[in-house]
Structure 1
Amino acid sequence: MQAWQVHEIGEPSEVMRLEEVERPVPGEGQVLLKVRAANINFPDALMCRGQYQVRPPLPFTPGVEICGETEDGRRVIANPVLPYGGFAEYAVADARGLLPAPDALDDAETAALHIGYQTGWFGLHQRARLQDGETLLVHAAAGGVGSAAVQLGKAAGAKVIGVVGGPEKAKVAAELGCDVVIDRRSEDVIAAVKEATGGRGADVIYDPVGGDAYTQSAKTVAFEGRIVVVGFASGTIPSPALNHALVKNYSIMGLHWGLYASKNPKLIPHCHERLTELATRGAIKPLVSERVDLTGAAAAVQRVADGVTTGRVAVIPGLTADKEGAAA
């Protein structure tokens, strides 16, 4: 089968190589899945760079989130067990972790439903307890993680403010349903948030960026507001001033979604049921901005790493062949 292999640490476009390899053999409690679509996540790029908390042995195949097909033909969502990741024709996953694919979503949308939307649901509901009528501010609102939070916030009845970088991403954020869109490249984020909230600030702030975005969060969070720290896509991990949190009376919350698999695993299928319900009634629909064939995976991972994409990019093995077959 074909699979992308990383033999050395570096930039995705330089270290990912498409090779012919043997199909992986599932271990005890594992299943072999045919990859129908694999979603690209920022951690895929970080693993190529050796900067992620999970460091699989070399060589490894990136791809931490897929829509796969079981031997009996069921469509499922899975997190492949590294080093046999999803940027391949076949991947291996734990049988107990499989989740049914929603009928309302196609393969690429299904592949994009899991990590970003589960992170968003846990962050907004399990951690921040977002309420109907509250104001939610989402940094990087047009990205894969941010777009999920925007949709989940709107589904919860919140007023959503989206912060983005550039006019193209501003357009995407508006189409996602943001009530207010702020372009951080041309606007003063702090002033714009205060204007949009009558000086009160945002009740919940969803931050997958860190760096300057966190500084803006601390200055725009409302009384008894909650800042949910999701990640550090900027590459800068901030050091919060706890005295500021004290005098302004707000909470700083960490969200490590993967930890629930060991600490409270029953919540993950519960969350998936809620997400499936929302997808079925059209309240959420993963934004898949680009679908690429397996041969284009390395370049696509690099684009995600460089921050030039919107929504999600899905890798679909056989996509080019399917199009050629349809044309014929």
Structure 2
Amino acid sequence: MFAWLCENPTGVDALTWQELPTPEPAAGQVRVAIRAASLNFPDLLIVQNKYQLKPPLPFVPGAEYAGVVEALGAGVTRLKVGQNVACLAGTGGFGTHVIAEAAMCLPLPDGFPHVDAAAFIMIYATSHHALVDRARLRAGETVLILGAAGGVGSSAIQIAKAVGARVIAAASTAEKCAFCKGLGADETIDYGSQDLREAIKGLTGGKGPDVIYDPVGGALAEPAFRAIAWRGRYLVVGFAAGQIPALPFNLALLKGASIVGVSWGGFARQEPEASAEALAELVRWYGEGRIKPVIDRTLPMAELKAAYARMGSREVKGKLVLVNP
């Protein structure tokens, strides 16, 4: 097998494409021939030693992938050789083969392509957990999505519309706002050229959004929170801007608002049955055509560094996916 190996987590440039022994699965594990793997923001942080997950060195990055089960370890009965699966394992995806825990593999129904499957679990599970579970978003409510043109943002637009909410998509350029409109957003805000707080007020008649979905953080957080509706729910999804904001607690008091943490990984570990039910609903929604990953582009697995560079340029709309021949 071949894989991108991180022997020293000092950044993308330190990754090397190496030939490694093809591993055999232990009990409860499977070997997956990787067909596609998506690039997510944590995949950048982990090779910079900035992510909360710090795997022992050396490791193969790539949190999310899809492929074909190639070999079974002892005791594995829920999967079979030749079965298509997707997995969100944290590491291992940027290569040709990987060993995965069988319990973490999502069996794919017929008609679910590997490229879509590799770009599915992280963004849709996060957005479903955020909007449906944590925020209890209801039909007719208004949700503001920051960073709406990115992977999680685009999934949040689709899930919010599936629930029946009104969506205001906020992004950094007019081009990205047009992209969000194409995904079903009802209104958009270009916070690269508009005052975010004033634009929110204008689009909500001064009431503010019932739910704010924030995977960006940084300087956008406080003006967005100041515009939130009474009893609003502010979803802390991530910090793509790099800066973790510090919100004045008096704002939550004055608005009767909630600051709600969103950690799908923690949810999946602490409440595995509820997480499995959410994933099953998402797979069903995919089959019904209600949600579908937006693929910015696919690149050969050997061009991982070019994919990282594109992600760093903030030009990505949707998801970047690496593919093996």
- TM-score, normalised relative to structure 2: 0.94
Aligned pair 1:239/2:238, yes or no?
A: no
Q: 1:260-283, CA deviations, whole angstroms, 9 ceiling, x for partnerless residues?
A: 232111112201111112111111
- Measure how far apart 1:104 and its partner are: 4.3
Query: How far, CA to CA, are the matches of 1:217 and 1:81 in structure 2?
Result: 31
* Residues 154-233 of structure 1 mapped to structure 2, 5 A cutoff: 154-233=161-240
Given candidates 289, 292, 315, the residue that maps to 1:285 is: 292
1:78 to 87, 103, 107: 87
Using the alignment, how far apart are the partners of 2:107 and 2:301 within structure 1? 23
Query: What is residue 39 of structure 2 aligned with on the other side?
Result: 40
Q: Which moved more, 1:303-312 or 1:40-49?
A: 303-312
Say which SS state the counterpart of residue 253 (structure 2) adopts.
Answer: helix
Deviations 1:117-158 (A, max 9, x none): 000000001100000000011011000010000100011101
Three-state SS of the structure 2 residue aligned to 1:36 is strand
Aligned equivalent of 2:29: 30
Identify which range, 126-135 or 174-183, moves more after superposition: 174-183
Aligned to 2:277: 270
Given that 1:288 and 1:314 are in contact with CA atoms closer than 8 Å, whether structure 2 keeps it comes out as: yes
Following the alignment from structure 1 to structure 2, what is the Cα–Cα distance between the partners of residues 92 and 290?
26
Distance in 2 (alpha carbons) for counterparts of 1:7 and 1:299: 19
The aligned length equals 315
Q: Which residue of 2 aligns with 1:120?
A: 127
Greater mean alpha carbon deviation, residues 42-51 or residues 232-241: 232-241
Letter in 1 for 2:261: G
CA distance in 1, matches of 2:293, 2:6: 28
Instruction: Give SS of 1:222's match.
Output: coil
Higher RCO, Cα 8 Å, sep 6+ = 1
Q: Residues 105 and 285 of structure 1 are in contact (CA less than 8 Å); yes or no, is this contact kept in structure 2?
A: no
Question: Structure 2: how far apart are the matches of 1:59 and 1:167?
Answer: 42
Q: Take 2:90 and 2:288, find their aligned partners in 1: how far apart are those partners? A: 32
CA RMSD of aligned residues (A): 1.3
Query: Within 1, Cα distance between the matches of 2:113 and 2:301?
Result: 17
List alignment gaps of at least 5 residues for structure 1: 319-328
Q: Which residue of 1 is the match for residue 63 of structure 2?
A: 64
User: How many angstroms apart in 2 are the aligned matches of 1:163 and 1:154?
Assistant: 15
Percent identity over paired residues = 39
